């Protein structure tokens, strides 16, 4: 499984500003230096496998707080006791996603490109976090709806998106 390196960037650095300029306007956290990171306790994370394709997991994060805050641009998705995390699609550096009070962002994860791949790993849970610095929430294969296991090989995840349809499109789904 490929490994995604987490990059810590100070909130006001020139590198962070440059990365935000490359993000689509709907995903750039304009003025993010003044917007606090979302507290993990103020977030609700959800994950569920697609009914049509168990190799696709749809994830979401909801800001239950009273103020707008920011999470990482890409959700951190890890798999059981395997090293690494799902790689972002499209590729991109670190950045933030602005999440309004009471608002939800959506992502999609493809755990394996070919479910018949003999090199596939099998895990009993995945963990979803809104930011790499947070613990996140673990979802068992039963909670996800994938049966007794989640098959994993070179997983990819979308950036946070404003709608589930946008997340599906970003992953190349209908």
pLDDT in tens, 83-139: 999 999 988 777 999 999 999 999 999 999 888 888 899 999 999 999 999 999 999
pLDDT in tens, 36-63: 999 999 999 999 999 989 999 999 999 9
Burial of 118 (C-beta count, 10 Å sphere; 0-12/13-18/19+): exposed
91, two tokens: 């590729």
pLDDT for the residue 1:
46
pLDDT for the residue 33:
57
pLDDT for the residue 30:
45
């Amino acid at each position: 499984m490929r490994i995604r390196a987490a990059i810590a960037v100070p909130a006001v650095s020139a590198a962070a500003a440059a990365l935000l300029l490359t993000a689509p306007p709907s995903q750039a956290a304009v003025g993010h230096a003044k917007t606090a990171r979302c507290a993990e306790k103020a977030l609700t994370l959800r994950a569920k496998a697609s009914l049509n394709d168990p190799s696709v997991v749809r994830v979401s994060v909801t800001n239950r707080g009273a103020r707008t805050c920011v999470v990482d641009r890409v959700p951190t998705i890890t798999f059981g006791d395997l090293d690494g995390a799902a790689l972002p699609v499209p590729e991109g550096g670190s950045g933030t996603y602005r999440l309004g009070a009471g608002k939800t962002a959506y992502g999609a994860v493809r755990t394996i490109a070919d479910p018949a791949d003999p090199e596939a790993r099998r895990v009993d849970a995945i963990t979803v976090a809104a930011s790499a610095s947070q613990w996140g929430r673990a979802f068992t294969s039963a909670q996800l709806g994938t049966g007794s296991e989640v098959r994993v090989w070179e997983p990819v995840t979308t950036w946070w998106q404003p709608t589930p349809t946008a997340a599906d499109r970003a992953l190349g789904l209908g």
